[in-house]
Amino acid sequence: MTRVVCDMMVSADGFSAGLDQSEDQPFGDLDTSILQSWRFDTAEENRAEIDAIVGGAKSFVMGRNMFGPVRGGWTGEWNGWWGPEPPYHAPVFVLTHHEREPLEMEGGTTFHFVTDGIHAALERARRAADGRDVRVGGGVATLRQYLRERLVDEMHLAVSPVLLGSGEHLLADIDLPALGYRITEYVPGGKATHVVLRR
CATH number at residue 90: 3.40.430.10
| Residue 75 binned pLDDT confidence (cut-offs 50, 70, 90) | confident
Q: What is the pLDDT of residue 189?
A: 79
Pairing of strands 134-138, 59-63: parallel
Model's pTM, two decimal places?
A: 0.87
Run of H or E residues at 118: helix 118-129
| 79 in any annotated domain | no
Q: Are 61 and 123 in contact (CB under 8 A)?
A: no
- Structural domain of 48: 4-69+85-198
Instruction: Classify residue 75: in a domain, yes or no.
Output: no
Average pLDDT over residues 87-111: 94
- How many structural domains is the chain composed of? 1
- Report d(CA 1, CA 157) in Å as an integer: 22
Contacts of 9 (CB under 8 A, 6+ apart): 16, 32, 35, 36, 38, 157, 158, 160, 192
